[in-house]
Structure 1
Amino acid sequence: MANLPSFVNLTDLVSRKVGGEVLFATDDWFAVAENLLKEDEPVWWEGEFTDFGKKMDGWETRRKRIPGHDWCIIKLGIPGVIRGVDANTRHFTGNYTPRLSIQAACLTPDVEFPDRSSAMGSKATEEQFEEMKKLQTESWEEIIPMKPLRSGTEETCNNYFSIDSEKRWTHIRLNMFPDGGIGRLRVYGDAKPNWSEIDQNSLIDLVAVENGGVCVGFSDAKFCFPKNLITKERSVTMADGWETARQRDRPAILEMGSDGVLEFTSRDWAVFRLGTKGIIERIEVDTNHFKGNYPDSCTVEGCVLTEQEEKYGQTARPDRPHGDFDSFDWRAILPPAKLSAHKRHHYRKDALTNIGPVTHIRLTMKPDGGISRLRLWGRMSSRI
């Protein structure tokens, strides 16, 4: 992730994986706006054409021959604070949109949008435009003013824009000026639940991305990143989890400890800030799809950190390139636990140590390998 903005480590709030949805688009001639929300990178189909033109993996509108510009409305899969955006124009070289802007709004659930067909070769009807006028989306707050985009070559396709705002949003309006194509739209940020709607005494997944959980540090992410551990659904492939490189200092000959866990000094770790301070009562560690590369064991520890302490832990130093989270008072919630391949591991209340309310947890795996999901069910103590 060298030379990339830090916000790309956050959750993509509009990804289809978390429930992002296109509600309206002015035009879908060459390729529909829903392609913007795909999790994978845009694909190039050499020599393939549809009835409407060259087959493209993104959102591409027709060459506009009437006044105005193209735009679409996207519902965030997870309402939250937007920290940054990547408008990826990959493969759109002679047909990328030259400029964009983004507006945002925080809407109540009762706001209705016109039905959408999502079909290539289509455009919004006059009736749909009339319905959209009533919503006055052109008056939504501008979070990215009109900015130029670059061509969709390998070197220039990613267009990053940072956003300095603490406001909570539920919907965005993507404006293309005047027409053209964008391959993917990533809207990175922090989930911000409406805690007034959540029962304080209910058991919730305190680290889940939809409840505001976020990965704030890790030792290694050679193959895929630990932020995947806290996404909504169970993983669909090995790439949809956290996998590290093999530790180079692992022993030449492995030996088993008296507790049934292999003896390793090497380890990989990831630190997560919970969505809200709470007491953890149940843990699930899922190694789904990790069959020949699952960790031998894992532990889960917790502590209470302030915002300043978290930033200190994240700060890289010559002797600690991954930061210094070791300096805090971590206490074990789940002691070293043996893991198996391709399996959900459940740890109930009687297998855990109640260390009281925590704001952060550290998942450690020995010596290395892959985990697909982490669930931490508990009860809220107080807001962070």
Structure 2
Amino acid sequence: MVFNSRLLHLHLSLCPQVLFATDDFFAPAENLIKSDSPSFREHEYTEFGKWMDGWETRRKRIPGHDWCIIKLGIQGIIRGFDVDISYFMGDYAPRMSIQAANLEEDKQPEIPQRGVRMGAAATPEEFEAVAELKSDDWNYLVPMTELKPGKPASSHNYFAVNSQERWSHIRLNIFPDGGIARLRVYGMGQKDWTATDPKEPFDLVAIAHGGTCVGYSNAHFGHPNNMIGVGKARSMADGWETARRLDRPPVLENDENGVLLVPGSEWAVFRLAHPGVITQIEIDTTYFKGNSPDSCKLDGCILTTQEEEDMIKQKWELPGQKWKPLLPVTKLSADESHLFHSLTLELQDVITHARLTITPDGGVSRLRLKGFPSSICLLRPRERPTMRFSVKVGFRANL
């Protein structure tokens, strides 16, 4: 299966956090949420045993089973999980289940900081603190299920989730003990818009609020969803970057405004987290020093759910009159954040979708579209996900 929704990215997010684990003897639970793929060091050992790139508990010799609690970096709707047991060929957890809860920030108990963990089990004080979460009673998103090993370097177990509820924490149970290399949580951020200040502008495209990329022309080096991730980019790998266009002229020339005269461009289309009026645009090319775009433009439009689905099938060959300019063709600089006022400040156009076009190619680290949510809502709520979910090998989610 392929998860077209991007992850509640345990990794692009505001620092996902392991709050508790019953045991971290061979390898700490923090490895579960590392952003890179698991690796294997054949001849490396620690003072506690074989070095493993994942979470691995000791062989249990007391009643019970092992489990850990992870606070998601982004609160939102979960569409699926990838429980990766790569390289845990003789010591993977044979069964697992996943529970979830939505906890209010100001009502969470104080749980002791874990620090650097190896060769240790949870203390009585930690058990006492985490008991206040009552995680035994959390909702099951994945019931107890056997894990199946695959190839040593690629052993993924995917689980789809059919839930429209918002979640902030998950509990990963393993039965009774063993190792898991990585846990990926796929889904979409979701903001509680009823609690927002109507006088305060919000980033309407942010992945943390529910924005998502629904189409793009090229993503050779980085997916467009990276641009709407949480916080500032950490490197070029944390942005959208296309391949070099092969139709660029042998010798480049500028027009009278200094914009390159080239035939092609690349684009990405985003569904806003909430329909609204865009008043400020930020296009950040930080880290893209020798590969930033020459120029860009931004357009917006209103689409219903059905129109969006039709456009996805047509690969976004939308009639030109549907798009309205938010930002005209504008020259960009390398490694710099650019702030612009949207044309909609005067036009007061409500939009549901935005299209960023870069010329001729290159990379952008962040896209921010600040504005005010509108009462219009043409995207009907769905009782269940209508998009197919699948995950390709090596896919790196962004929630």
- TM-score, shorter chain, exceeding 0.5: yes
Counterpart residue number, 1:77: 73
Amino acid at match of 2:171: R
Within 1, Cα distance between the matches of 2:316 and 2:144?
37
Structure 1 residues 134 and 205 mapped into 2: Cα distance closer, same or farther (>3 Å)? closer
**Corresponding letter in the other structure for 2:303:** L
Matches for 1:55-70 after TM superposition, within 5 Å: 55-70=51-66
State which of 84, 87, 106 in structure 2 corresponds to 1:88: 84
Aligned pairs for 1:50-199 within 5 A:
50-109=46-105, 110-118=107-115, 119-151=117-149, 153=151, 156-199=154-197
Question: Residues 69, 383 of structure 1: CA spacing in aligned structure 2 closer, same or farther, 3 A cutoff?
Answer: farther
Describe the superposition over 1:145-179 as per-residue Cα deviations: whole angstroms up to 9, x where unpaired. 12222336356422211111111111111111121
Residue 337 of structure 2: which of 322, 338, 344 is its match?
Answer: 344
- Once the two structures are superposed, the pairs formed by residues 292-311 of structure 1 within 5 Å of their partners are 292-311=290-309
Separation in 2 of the partners of 1:278 and 1:188? 26
Match of 1:15 among 11, 15, 19: 11
- On the 8 A contact 1:89/1:96 being kept in 2, the answer is yes
- Which SS does the other structure have where 1:308 is aligned? helix
What amino acid sits opposite 2:196 in the alignment? I
TM-score by length of 2: 0.88
SS in 1 for 2:165: coil
Q: Distance in 2 between matches of 1:93 and 1:254?
A: 54
Partner of 1:248: 246
Deviation at 1:365, TM superposition (A): 0.7
Does 1:363 find its partner at 2:356? Answer: yes
Q: Does 1:380 align with 2:378?
A: no
- Calculate percent identity across the aligned residue pairs: 49
* Whole-angstrom CA distance in 1 between matches of 2:173 and 2:319: 45
The alpha-carbon deviation at position 16 of structure 1 amounts to: 6.3
Deviation larger for 79-88 or 113-122: 113-122
Amino acid at match of 1:67: P
Give how far 1:268 is off: 1.0
- Which is worse superposed, 154-163 or 243-252? 154-163
Q: Taking structure 1 as reference, are residues 155 and 335 closer, same or farther at Cα in structure 2, changes over 3 Å only? A: same
Contact 2:212 2:271 in 1 (8 A): yes
Equivalent residue for 2:23?
27
The residue type equivalent to 2:21 in the other structure is A
1:5 maps to: 2
Out of 144-153 and 118-127, give the one that drifted further.
Answer: 144-153
Separation in 2, partners of 1:242, 1:345:
16
Q: Is the 8 A contact 1:13 1:79 kept in 2?
A: no
> One-letter code of the match for 1:6?
F
Pairwise CA distance, 1:98 = 1.8
Separation of aligned partners in 1, 2:375 and 2:15: 28
In angstroms, what is the RMSD of aligned CA positions?
A: 2.1
Query: Following superposition of structure 1 onto structure 2, how do residues 180-259 of structure 1 map, counting pairs within 5 Å?
Result: 180-259=178-257
For residues 18-75 of structure 1, the C-alpha deviation after alignment (integer angstroms, 9 at most, x for no partner) is: 3311111111111111121111112323422222112222111111111221111111
In 1, Cα distance between the equivalents of 2:252 and 2:219? 24
Aligned residues: 375
Q: Per-residue deviation at 1:276? A: 1.2
Structure 1 residues 354 and 185: CA distance shift in structure 2, 3 A: farther
| Distance of 1:200 and 1:73 partners within structure 2 | 35
Per the alignment, residue 319 of structure 1 pairs with none
Structure 1: gaps (5+ residues): 317-321
CA offsets 1:76-105 (integer angstroms, 9 cap, x no match): 111110011111222222222122111111
Does the CA-based 8 Å contact 1:96-1:152 persist in structure 2? no
Any unmatched runs of 5+ in structure 2? 378-399
Deviation at 1:382, TM superposition (A): 2.3
Residues 266 and 154 from structure 1, CA distance in 2 versus in 1: closer, same or farther, beyond 3 angstroms?
farther
Deviation at 1:132, TM superposition (A): 3.4
* 2:38 is aligned with 1:42: yes
Flag the 1:355–1:334 CA change in 2: closer, same or farther, 3 A. farther
* Paired position in structure 1 for 2:286: 288
Compute the displacement of 1:355 (Å). 5.3
